[in-house]
Amino acid sequence: MFQIHIPAVKAFSVKEALKLIEENGKVLNGGTDILVIAKEIGISAEKLVDISGIEELKQIEVSAKKIVIGGAVTIDEAKNNPIIRSEFPALVFAAEQFASPQIRNRATWAGNIANASPAGDGMTALYAYDAVIQLRSKNGRREIPLTEFVKGVRKTELCEGEIITGIILPRGHGGEHFGSFIKVGQRKTLAISKVMVAVSALIKAGKIKKIGIALGAVAPVILRLTEVEQFLTGKKIDRDEAVRAGELARQAVKAIDDIRSTADYRKKVAGVIVERAILGLKSIE
Amino acid sequence: MKNSTLHLKLNGNEKTFLIDPADTLLDFLRETAQLTGTKEGCGKGECGACTVLLDGKPVNSCLVMAVQAEGRSVTTIEGIKSDKRFDALRASFLEHGASQCGACTPGFIISSAALLTDNPDPTDKEIRSALEGNLCRCTGYLKIFSAVKHAAENKGER
Amino acid sequence: MTKIIGTSPLREDARVKIDGAAKYVDDLSFPGMAYAMLVRSPFPHAKISEIDASHALELPEVVAVITAKDIPGKNKIPIVFDDQPCLAEDEARYIGEPVAIVVANDRRTAQIAATLVSVKYSELPAITDPLLSLAEGAEKVNPVLGNILSRHKVNKGDVDSAMSIADVVVEGEYKTGYQEHAYIETQGVIAVPENEGGIALYGSMQCPFYIHKALGYVLGIPLSKLRVIQTVTGGAFGGKEDFPSLPATHAAIAAYLTSRPVKLVMTREEDILCSTKRHPGIVRIKYGARRDGTIIACDAEYILNAGAWSTLSPIVLWRGTVHSGGPYRIENFRVDAKAVATNSVPNGAFRGFGQPQVCFANESLIDELAVKLGMDPVELRLRNALDIGLETLTNHVIKESCGLKKVISLVRDEVKWLENRSRKERVLSNGKYYGVGFSAAFYGTGLGAGGKKIDRSGAFLQVAFDGSVQIAVGTTEMGQGHNTVLSMIAAEELGADVKKVSMLPIDTSRVPDSGPTVASRATMMSGQAIRDAAKQVRKIIHDVVAKRLGVAVETLEFEPGVIFSGAKKITFEEAVTWCFDERVHLAAQGWFKAPNTEWNSENGLGDAYYAYTYTAIGAEVAVDKETGEVEVLRIVSGHDIGKAINRREVEGQIQGGAVQGMGYALYEDLVSTNGKIIRPNFSGYIIPTAADIPEIKPVIVEEPYEGGPFGAKGLGEPPLIAIAPAIANAIFDAIGVRIKKLPMTPERILETLEAVR
């Protein structure tokens, strides 16, 4: 039965959380999405299992080839991590524009993925970085690329009894890390995006060595603009190339109509912000 | 049903309460702890009226379950009121006409207090960013910005 | 020379608000209190054949389920026409219409039980478009009044002939959307049974006496047994004028039938879904002018989507109608206005009250006229502006207090109109296009001819032994600074220290009926009633003082806190002690009746109001031509308000109104399809945040109005009214396209740009 008022219970380890979830529990992390859903339509579970305080999920682990953002790391916490600031600037730009200060202090990167809204600011930035999701259940662990994990609006590969324990981001080497993030909403802040773009770029000697362009809020899932990425790889960033990239993006997008905007608007503006995002690529000092 | 215990540091004091585990932190504060200074404006984290400090950081208490505050520190407007560090901030809100109907005011004070604690000398832009999560429908915000700005400037003098 | 008026004493009510100690209705509870939740219609139009509460009543914590047949008195809410039921009986006529009241021991059970009440509906065809409602043969939406809930016409001169000889004619159709008040405190009440068999109703409200009357209707008991107590009210903007009568009657019936205190506080969703809003409007308007810019004719048609019941729509429509041509002298004027019933949520009062819709239309069209004439839009406004000796649209000859030309000129200078308008370089460093726009408006303060019978105010003033002063009025503080301003007026007139003046909390059994707190009238009306009382008490004090000092009473002078005659000087407190020694009664009743208005309802001509506030707005914007986003850079908001009683609070009204107007202009889009509001929350309905706020420069003009306290006229509403057209005109200046529909969303702007390409 769908319940509006569900008791919550705090888990102190992943193991404990997995056990509690098995007893008809649903994961409660930062709560900024699931509690809204609970209040609006209810949730079919006996309890909410709070994983937000589990120490092993609060870590950001750095190794030579990758960085792992723990499943309970908040938007704000990751934003302040030095490696994320230097190597994943688009995540930081997205975090700065994410909802509101209050929400950023609670919402988690993993939760943004689990919610699987195509208008998720954090998830759009993660798309631009080839993120891989770490999952754990009582049966074991598995990893799955973010692009495969998300299946549609609020639909994911997450199985019953499984939780997101971390987000793996491969570290790029041999260049400078640039990024940008642009969102267009009805007002400047605290608005769900009509359309947004996140770009990650590794730049060497003024040329794009590797680039990731993710477009959010235009379609049922976040889009990676691979054609545009291919077009830009190996090129220098200048106005003509950016304009061309914007045009390619516009052609590539199949946008949707919904309450927040129209397909027509999204298609047009997607091109504009892709162009601007490429021209606006920057690093964080 | 109140069948669960909650230990937390509430406005500076270690406390234990018997709570309903289905309560949000906001429900708990208003109904069980009888601290009604924290207001509910939307219940969905969209207006900031219910902002409190959780371990010193502003959060929407309507989107935190009470049990998630276990072992943590929670500061409400009642706690700010008895904290001398924020006397200048409260006085400045009064002097600048930053409160009209007042329903949003406790939330704005909390967000401002968090800002000034982390950043005693904020720029205009930083003030606006810190208050982005709080809606006000009366003042047009400008007098709130001035109040925070002046509170920061006058802090040393008081 | 006034000592207190014109200064900015602090707001005493704000202290407890800042500390979180102010008690709003949801902060109160009473022993044995139960909670009510409404069962509401999910259909825009449906027949109700059966209400089965058995499943809800099975829950042990459920106390009662109440339907229309249980109402002890009339199933009617009195507002203007008494057409709206308290609970729908045979048919539901909008989504969200109350059908049953569930009462439970706790809030959660009430919420769950409301979903368990099974109502058998058979859906009926619904009309949600006002134009379809007006079509011939349309189904009757409102069973009492039909589909035209109200109609007003004004007919002055010969519009057709004037249009035919005009050198230039412009016309256009302008549409405006819903606006939700979005007060931060949602609607809420608590009804408490009293020992004597009556009900005390606590709640968030603007107009306690409206609720008082409504309780009498539904409970069928004498008004003398009922009292209404206003709790600290967390914003209203018109939304707590007419609407609270509905939840108040629900809670009161529940309390009456269960003999328990009953709390009813709405969730934000519920509030957005079923509380009143600003009426969506359609305005078709046409101006005819001579080559020199003199407007000789205005012809308008005004349609409001009123929703299922009439609420205050007739008066909202009337205010819009008589202001629809703008603040200009126009010899020939015609307007036909209709408030139309639809199967959607009833709309009601909202700051501006029917004027923002027409102002967006007429002030946009004035700029189009300027383009066609090749004339500067500010010059065009000045040429036609109302002034002393000229008559308004309805032939009201202005005899005093008209600062329109002055406010237009000051705002023009403050916004650097000539310089900014003629800027050559329009593209800003961020690639956006710069534009500056202007608008003007007038606002009849008070209820005027439309609400003549209740345009009066009572006040009671008494002085205590310690020299402190207590005032009772029936108008309310809802955040606007009412109590501070009225305390200042009392202190000034009485000669007391403003810090020693207190306002009695509102309880209809203890305060006089001062009429509703609406129409920007409280400062004027209650201010004058308080002055009346204060003058009487001052005379009593001065008589005693003169006698004791052995001087003639005419020689006494006073300032706040002191009374003196030549070198002799005593404090107000000493004087009060003397009065108590003399056993005089230091109290008085004050009364003020608004001036009479002459009105001819046949041709719609006469003195619509007794005085007007005049407004000019300058807006500077930056438009992103590629995304359609508009950034407002600066707003200059000028108002002739007669006298600024408290400057800081005047600025607060001006800035708050500007931001609410900016939201109306650009962001606030309440999407409704087939009578259903989509996403009734603050992520679907977008109001301005801290990040969106431009500099807002208040310009205050003081052309005193003899009939107002210390020359003051009303200010509450004017700051919102003319913001949207100033922004629309600025957008036109920036990118050369005219947006004729509010809100001016990025989508609309891009579409319009595409269309002209």
pLDDT tens digits, one per residue of B103-148:
999 999 999 999 999 999 999 999 999 999 999 999 999 999 999 9
Query: Per the domain annotation, does A285 fall within a domain?
Result: no
CATH 1.10.150.120 residue window(s) in chain B: 83-157
How much is the pLDDT for A188? 81
Residue of C nearest to A264 (CA): C747
Place of tokens 């006298």: C643
Query: Per the domain annotation, does A2 fall within a domain?
Result: no
User: Between A and B, how many residue pairs show a Cβ–Cβ distance under 8 A?
Assistant: 86
Q: How far C628 CA lies from chain A's nearest CA (Å)?
A: 9
Q: Is residue C450 very low, low, confident or very high in pLDDT (cuts 50, 70, 90)?
A: confident
Q: What angle do CA C492, C495, C498 make, to 5 degrees?
A: 60
Contacts of C680 in chain B (CB under 8 A): none
CA C40 – CA C680 distance, rounded (Å): 15
Is A10 in contact with B70 (Cβ distance < 8 A)?
Answer: yes
Task: Please name which of C523, C509, C534 lies closest in space to residue C476, comparing C-alpha atoms.
Answer: C523
Is C691 in contact with A191 (Cβ distance < 8 A)?
Answer: no
- Domain B83-157 classified CATH 1.10.150.120? yes
Residue type, A253: V
* Domains along chain C with CATH numbers: 25-124+187-265 (3.90.1170.50), 281-449+600-756 (3.30.365.10), 456-593 (3.30.365.10)
Of the three residues A170, A198, A225, the one that is the final residue of a domain is A170
On whether both A95 and A180 belong to a single domain, the answer is no
Rounded percentage of chain B residues whose pLDDT exceeds 70: 97
Place of tokens 């602090």: C10
Q: Is C107 on the interface with A (CB under 8 A)?
A: no
Contacts of B51 in chain A (CB under 8 A): 102
pLDDT tens digits, one per residue of C157-166:
999 999 999 9
On whether both A42 and A62 belong to a single domain, the answer is no
Q: Is A52 on the interface with B (CB under 8 A)?
A: yes
How much is the pLDDT for B84? 96
Query: Per the domain annotation, does A284 fall within a domain?
Result: no
Given a contact cutoff of 8 angstroms between Cβ atoms, the answer to whether C576 and C541 are in contact is yes
Residue type, C175: K
Residue B117 phi, psi dihedral angles, 5° rounding: -70, -45
C90 three-class SS: coil
Structural domains of chain A, count: 3
Q: Is A100 on the interface with B (CB under 8 A)?
A: yes
Place of tokens 């609070």: C649
pLDDT at C737 over 50: yes
- CB count, 10 Å around CB of B94? 18
Q: Is residue B158 very low, low, confident or very high in pLDDT (cuts 50, 70, 90)?
A: very low
CA C196 – CA C39 distance, rounded (Å): 30
Q: Is B74 on the interface with C (CB under 8 A)?
A: no
Q: Is B24 on the interface with C (CB under 8 A)?
A: no
Q: Is residue A1 very low, low, confident or very high in pLDDT (cuts 50, 70, 90)?
A: low
Is B58 in contact with A101 (Cβ distance < 8 A)?
Answer: yes
Contacts of C750 in chain A (CB under 8 A): 265, 268-269
Q: Quick one: average pLDDT of C392-415?
A: 98
Pairing of strands C226-230, C199-203: parallel
On whether both A63 and A35 belong to a single domain, the answer is no
Given a contact cutoff of 8 angstroms between Cβ atoms, the answer to whether C84 and C311 are in contact is yes
Is A189 in contact with C111 (Cβ distance < 8 A)?
Answer: no
Q: Quick one: average pLDDT of C271-300?
A: 98
pLDDT at B79 over 70: yes
Q: Is A272 on the interface with C (CB under 8 A)?
A: yes
Given a contact cutoff of 8 angstroms between Cβ atoms, the answer to whether C719 and C657 are in contact is yes
Alpha-carbon distances of C242 from C62, C79, C82, C237, rounded to whole Å: 30, 7, 12, 11
In total, chain A counts a number of residues equal to: 285
The per-residue DSSP string of C298-334 comes to: EEEEEEEEEESS-TTHHHHHHHHHHHTT-SB--SEEE
Is B142 in contact with C693 (Cβ distance < 8 A)?
Answer: yes
Smallest Cβ–Cβ distance between C656 and the set B42, B100, B102 belongs to B100
Contacts of A40 in chain B (CB under 8 A): 44
pLDDT tens digits, one per residue of C140-190:
999 999 999 999 999 999 999 999 999 999 999 999 999 999 999 999 999
Task: Please name which of C535, C517, C534, C530 lies closest in space to residue C459, comparing C-alpha atoms.
Answer: C530
On whether both A189 and A125 belong to a single domain, the answer is no
Q: Return the bridge partners of C673, or none.
A: C676
Mutate to test the interface with A, among B68, B119, B127 (most CBs of A within 10 A): B68
The per-residue DSSP string of A200-220 comes to: EEEEETTEEEEEEEEEESSSS
Given a contact cutoff of 8 angstroms between Cβ atoms, the answer to whether A186 and A193 are in contact is no
pLDDT tens digits, one per residue of C50-109:
999 999 999 999 999 999 999 999 999 999 999 999 999 999 999 999 999 999 999 999
Task: Please name which of C611, C686, C92, C101 lies closest in space to residue C388, comparing C-alpha atoms.
Answer: C611
Q: Is A261 on the interface with C (CB under 8 A)?
A: yes
On whether both A65 and A104 belong to a single domain, the answer is yes
Q: Is A115 on the interface with B (CB under 8 A)?
A: no
Residue of C nearest to B79 (CA): C19
- Residues of A (217-246) whose Cβ lies below 8 Å from B: none
Q: How far apart are the first and last CA of chain A?
A: 51
Residue A33, domain extent = 8-50
Is A191 in contact with C747 (Cβ distance < 8 A)?
Answer: no
CA C296 – CA C216 distance, rounded (Å): 50
Given a contact cutoff of 8 angstroms between Cβ atoms, the answer to whether A181 and A274 are in contact is no
pLDDT tens digits, one per residue of C503-549:
999 999 999 999 999 999 999 999 999 999 999 999 999 999 999 99
The per-residue DSSP string of C57-88 comes to: HHSTTEEEEEEGGG-SS-S---SSS----SS-
Chains in touch with B (≥3 Cβ pairs < 8 A): A, C
Q: Is C681 on the interface with B (CB under 8 A)?
A: yes
On whether both A123 and A161 belong to a single domain, the answer is yes
How much is the pLDDT for C452? 83
Smallest Cβ–Cβ distance between B97 and the set C22, C234, C649 belongs to C649
Lowest mean pLDDT, pick from A80-84, A190-194, C739-743: A190-194
- CB count, 10 Å around CB of C354? 29
On whether both A231 and A274 belong to a single domain, the answer is yes
Q: Is B7 on the interface with C (CB under 8 A)?
A: no
Task: Please name which of C298, C304, C303 lies closest in space to residue C285, comparing C-alpha atoms.
Answer: C298
Joined together, the tokens standing for residue B35 give: 């601290």
How much is the pLDDT for B156? 45
Smallest Cβ–Cβ distance between A10 and the set B44, B60, B67 belongs to B67
Contacts of C109 in chain A (CB under 8 A): none
User: Between B and C, how many residue pairs show a Cβ–Cβ distance under 8 A?
Assistant: 169
In total, chain B counts a number of residues equal to: 158
CA C674 from centroid of its chain's CA atoms:
27
Q: What is the pTM of this model?
A: 0.98
CATH 3.10.20.30 residue window(s) in chain B: 4-75
Q: Quick one: average pLDDT of A220-240?
A: 96
Given a contact cutoff of 8 angstroms between Cβ atoms, the answer to whether C458 and C594 are in contact is no
Mutate to test the interface with A, among C683, C751, C757 (most CBs of A within 10 A): C683
Joined together, the tokens standing for residue A278 give: 């490429």
Place of tokens 């019941």: C309
Q: How far B135 CA lies from chain C's nearest CA (Å)?
A: 6
Q: How far A50 CA lies from chain B's nearest CA (Å)?
A: 7
Lowest mean pLDDT, pick from A39-43, C16-20, C265-269, C327-331: A39-43
Query: Per the domain annotation, does A1 fall within a domain?
Result: no
Q: Is residue A185 very low, low, confident or very high in pLDDT (cuts 50, 70, 90)?
A: confident
pLDDT tens digits, one per residue of B18-41:
999 999 999 999 999 999 999 999
On whether both A145 and A221 belong to a single domain, the answer is no
Q: For all residues of chain C together, what is the average pLDDT?
A: 97
Place of tokens 């209650």: C526
Q: Return the bridge partners of B136, or none.
A: none
Smallest Cβ–Cβ distance between A187 and the set C108, C688, C747 belongs to C688
B interface toward A at CB cutoff 8 Å? 4, 20-22, 24, 43-46, 48, 51, 54, 57-60, 62-68, 70-71, 111, 114, 129-130, 132-134
Q: How far B20 CA lies from chain A's nearest CA (Å)?
A: 7
Q: Is C61 on the interface with B (CB under 8 A)?
A: no
Is A268 in contact with C750 (Cβ distance < 8 A)?
Answer: yes
Joined together, the tokens standing for residue B25 give: 């932190």
Secondary structure in 3-state letters for C217-252: HHHCCCHHHEEEEECECCCCCCCCCCCCHHHHHHHH
How much is the pLDDT for B155? 65
pLDDT at B71 over 80: yes
CA C260 – CA C194 distance, rounded (Å): 10
Q: Is C185 on the interface with B (CB under 8 A)?
A: yes
User: Between A and C, how many residue pairs show a Cβ–Cβ distance under 8 A?
Assistant: 57
Residue C448 phi, psi dihedral angles, 5° rounding: 60, -155
CA C356 – CA C714 distance, rounded (Å): 16
Task: Please name which of C607, C616, C600, C592 lies closest in space to residue C399, comparing C-alpha atoms.
Answer: C607
ipTM of model: 0.98
Q: Is C26 on the interface with B (CB under 8 A)?
A: yes
Mutate to test the interface with A, among B7, B50, B63 (most CBs of A within 10 A): B63
How much is the pLDDT for A191? 79
Q: Quick one: average pLDDT of A75-85?
A: 97
Of the three residues A104, A137, A170, the one that is the final residue of a domain is A170
Q: Is residue C756 very low, low, confident or very high in pLDDT (cuts 50, 70, 90)?
A: confident
Is A102 in contact with B59 (Cβ distance < 8 A)?
Answer: yes
Handedness of CA C74, C76, C77, C81 (dihedral sign): negative
On whether both A161 and A181 belong to a single domain, the answer is no
How much is the pLDDT for B157? 42
Per-residue DSSP letter, C292: T
CA C312 – CA C349 distance, rounded (Å): 7
Q: What is the CATH number of the domain that holds A102?
A: 3.30.465.10
Mutate to test the interface with B, among C7, C11, C13, C17 (most CBs of B within 10 A): C17
CA C490 – CA C481 distance, rounded (Å): 14
CA C494 – CA C281 distance, rounded (Å): 46
Given a contact cutoff of 8 angstroms between Cβ atoms, the answer to whether B145 and C708 are in contact is no
Q: Quick one: average pLDDT of A261-279?
A: 96
Smallest Cβ–Cβ distance between C667 and the set A186, A194, A273 belongs to A186
Q: Return the bridge partners of C211, or none.
A: none
Joined together, the tokens standing for residue A64 give: 């030579």
Sheet of C433-444, strands arranged across: C433-444, C612-623, C630-640, C695-701
pLDDT tens digits, one per residue of C183-211:
999 999 999 999 989 999 999 999 999 99
Contacts of B137 in chain C (CB under 8 A): 181-184, 235, 237, 656, 660, 687
Architecture of domain B4-75: Roll (3.10)
Residue of C nearest to B108 (CA): C18
pLDDT at B90 over 90: yes
Q: Is residue C658 very low, low, confident or very high in pLDDT (cuts 50, 70, 90)?
A: very high
The per-residue DSSP string of chain B comes to: ---EEEEEEETTEEEEEEE-TT-BHHHIIIIIS--TTSPPS-SSSSS-TTEEEETTEEEEGGGSBGGGGTTSEEE-HHHHHT-GGGHHHHHHHHHTT--SS-SSHHHHHHHHHHHHHH-SS--HHHHHHHTTT---SSS-SHHHHHHHHHHHHHGGG-
Q: What is the CATH number of the domain that holds A241?
A: 3.30.390.50
- CB count, 10 Å around CB of C456? 18
Q: Is A6 on the interface with B (CB under 8 A)?
A: yes
